[in-house]
Amino acid sequence: MKNILVLCTGNSCRSQIADGYLKHFARDKAAVYSAGIETHGVNPKAIKVMAEDHIDISKHTSNHVDEYLNIPFDYVITVCDNAHEACPFFPGNVERFHQNFPDPAKAVGSEEEIFQEFVRVRDMIKVYCADFVKQHLS
């Protein structure tokens, strides 16, 4: 089983969504963790947008990357440029991947427009995670 860490700035939206999809697609092929270089709490809109796709992340917590420094990760995936630049060193044979996704928490407009941005980003992350599992865990 592979260990995967998904890292973002606040571990509130993008990394939480990726965590949910990686667990969904990888099933028992990987242990998936998500963290931030800061902790902002799990965004309620991230929980809602994932529930729309039948994935429950309501029990997720916002964790700091330092909590996982002793886990031998096989893969570290940064999902925003800020986390990519601030990502700590992980010892061992760790493969690092980076894909910058827009931050849906920064969306402006009506409630509906903001939620549609969450849907758009969720769908981008879903495709990325499905492809990642297919390429690296199959």
Structural domains in the chain? 2-136 (3.40.50.2300)
How are beta strands 30-36 and 75-78 bridged, if at all?
unpaired
Examine the residue annotation and report whether 80 is marked as an active-site residue of this protein. Answer: yes
Phi/psi-derived region of residue 49, left when phi > 0, alpha when psi is between -120 and 50, beta in every other case: alpha
Rounded CA-CA distance 76/98 in Å is: 8
**Segment 46-93, tens digit of pLDDT:** 999 999 999 999 999 999 999 998 899 999 999 988 887 877 777 778
Q: For residues 26-32, give the mean pLDDT.
A: 96
**Amino acid making up residue 92:** G
pLDDT of residue 84: 78
Instruction: Output the average pLDDT for the chain.
Output: 94
- Taking the whole predicted model, whether its pTM rises above 0.85 is answered as yes
Q: For residues 21-29, give the mean pLDDT.
A: 97
Phi/psi-derived region of residue 5, left when phi > 0, alpha when psi is between -120 and 50, beta in every other case: beta
Q: For residues 110-116, give the mean pLDDT.
A: 96
How far lies 96's CA from each of 28, 75, 107, in Å? 21, 6, 28
Catalytic residue, from 3, 63, 82, 87: name it: 87
- Both tokens assigned to 120: 């758009």
pLDDT of residue 48: 97
- Band of the pLDDT at 112, cuts 50, 70, 90? very high
Examine the residue annotation and report whether 8 is marked as an active-site residue of this protein. Answer: yes
- Band of the pLDDT at 126, cuts 50, 70, 90? very high
Examine the residue annotation and report whether 13 is marked as an active-site residue of this protein. Answer: no
Catalytic residue, from 4, 5, 6, 8: name it: 8
